[in-house]
Amino acid sequence: MKNLLLALITALLLSLALAQTITIHTHFQDESLNWLQQETARFEAAFGVDVEIVFVPVGAIVQNMLLNAPVGQGPDLIVPVPHDQLGALAEAGVLASMDQYATAVYLGDLTAQSRLAFTFAGRLFGLPMYVEGPALYVNRDLVPEGPNSFDEFLAIAREHTTAHTFGFLQPQASDAFYFGYVWLRGFGGYVFGRDADGNLNPNDIGLSTEGAVRGAEFIQRLRHEYSLIPSGVDYSVMHGQFLNGTAAMINNGPWAAPDYLAAGINFEVMPIPGIDGGSPFSGFMGVQGIVMNEFSTNKVNAVNLAKWLIRTDAQVSLATFGGRIPASISASQRISDDPIIAGFAAALADAEPMPNIPEMARVWAPMETALSLILADPYADIGAILNDAVREIRGN
């Protein structure tokens, strides 16, 4: 009897110890992983709770959660997850709502886009950490000043399109829609509209509207009228040309900045100037944040860790370590003297959070095909091509 009681007590203590351990799945590497390890170590010291960090590639992190969370084998937290994956996770029932844990002070310190990005069906399903998206990189050795207007942007791009340099590059052979959306949106197109409650409406598709057609016409003109963006330019070509100092301007995201800094490129990040003094062009914004497993048996500790990782000091240090653009307004203000972060903050100020509903998965391939056809033929019927793409997105 005594042995049985001892065994039960031992099992209980072991289960309590295991429950105290918070498991994180992360796709972070290098400096960002170092940051996460340092912050979790501070949390462990402050709260007396162990944290286990497990690396999972970004391409597998969502599927892993979908498969393992319902059977009790998923992580307590994902740190972080791209917000465009939120809809699939929320619809599957594997995410815990964060509404009850997000204070008014915390929500008030977030940019409006980051709050919107982690809201699905009217509920907050994650705590935003940082934002990302394309902006204009300008090589200051080739372009000492400007562009300060849209006309100047085009003039500089054409001036530096020579036998040895490229004036302006953005991917066209692949990733055409992600990077080209800046023009579609800038001229009035949109992916999905919103209903009266602010929820994305997958039946309201704005990729063949008059504004979208004008944006696609401009993309076509970039190649065939302005002689910019030659055929075959994909992301690696664009990145390589700027890395080599042979591209004057490119449209790229903050993830590329460390490579350019390491290569000694003298560059500035800024918004693409708007037409006739209007609002700057801006396209998609990605937001990455922390989500919690609905099936976690350790929610109290997991929430405390999530809040620890998104506090202002932590976001400032993440920006310093990994060059991430904070979702926190107060954190952004504290590092506003960093020219790269300030440049992206300005460029993304009016950017559109990439739709987080599952229907977005049906958009990419038809729009990639549509833009490829439009770029290939200066006489292409743009309206007809976009109408075909929208019909395919709808499944008709």
Least confident of 17-26, 48-57, 249-258, 361-370: 17-26
Confidence of residue 174 (pLDDT cuts 50, 70, 90): confident
Q: Is 88 exposed, middle or buried, given 0-12, 13-18 or 19+ CB atoms closer than 10 A?
A: buried
Are 116 and 88 members of one domain?
yes
- Tell me: do 155 and 211 sit in the same domain: yes
Which residue segment(s) compose the domain that 327 sits in?
Answer: 2-132+286-353
What's the pLDDT score for residue 132?
A: 96
Give the CATH number for residue 346.
3.40.190.10
- The first and second tokens of residue 27, run together, are 């796709």
Distance CA 296, CA 21 (A): 11
Average pLDDT for residues 221-232, to the nearest whole number? 92
- pLDDT tens digits along 179-198: 999 999 999 999 999 999 88
Together in a domain, 339 and 216: no
Dihedral sign for Cα atoms in the order 162, 166, 172, 176: negative
Specify whether 174 is located in the same domain as 252.
Answer: yes
Residue-wise pLDDT tens digits, 74-86:
999 999 999 999 9
**How many C-beta neighbours within 10 Å does residue 45 have?**
9
Under a CB-based contact definition with an 8 Å cutoff, are residues 288 and 132 in contact? yes
Specify whether the CB–CB gap between 125 and 119 falls below 8 A: yes
Same-domain status, 256 and 330: no
**Per-residue pLDDT reduced to its tens digit, 147-158:** 999 999 999 999
pTM of the model: 0.90
Give the tokens for residue 207: 């990729």
- Residues paired with residue 292 on neighbouring β-strands, in sequence order: 77
Q: What is the mean pLDDT of residues 286-301?
A: 97
Measured between alpha carbons, how far is 322 from 288 in angstroms, rounded to an integer? 14
Per-residue pLDDT for 10 more than 60?
Answer: no
Alpha-carbon distances, residue 65 vs 26, 69, 80, 214 (angstroms): 12, 5, 13, 41
In this predicted model, which residue has the larger pLDDT, 321 or 176? 176
Tell whether 303 and 372 lie within a shared domain.
Answer: no
Q: Report the b/e string of 316-338 with b at 16+ CB within 10 A.
A: bbbbebbbbbbbbbebbebbeeb
Residues 92, 49 share a domain: yes
- Residue 230, phi then psi, degrees to nearest 5: -65, 160
Identify the pLDDT of residue 321.
83
**Are residue 149 and residue 198 in the same domain, yes or no?**
yes
**3-state SS, residue 334:** helix
**Residues 83, 51 share a domain:** yes
- pLDDT at residue 15 in the model: 43
Residues 6 or more apart in contact with residue 200 via CB below 8 angstroms:
192, 193, 194, 355, 356, 357
What digits encode the pLDDT tens for the residues 32-68?
Answer: 999 999 999 999 999 999 999 999 999 999 999 999 9
Residues 224 and 126 in one domain: no
Domain identity same for 67 and 204: no
* Residue 323: per-residue pLDDT: 86
If asked whether residues 257 and 378 sit together in one domain, one would say yes
Number of domains forming the structure of the chain? 2
Task: Answer whether residue 108 shows pLDDT above 70.
Answer: yes
pLDDT-wise least confident of 3-17, 89-103, 264-278, 337-351: 3-17
Question: Is residue 18 scored above 60 in pLDDT?
Answer: no
Q: From CA 146, how far away is CA 360, in angstroms rounded? A: 36
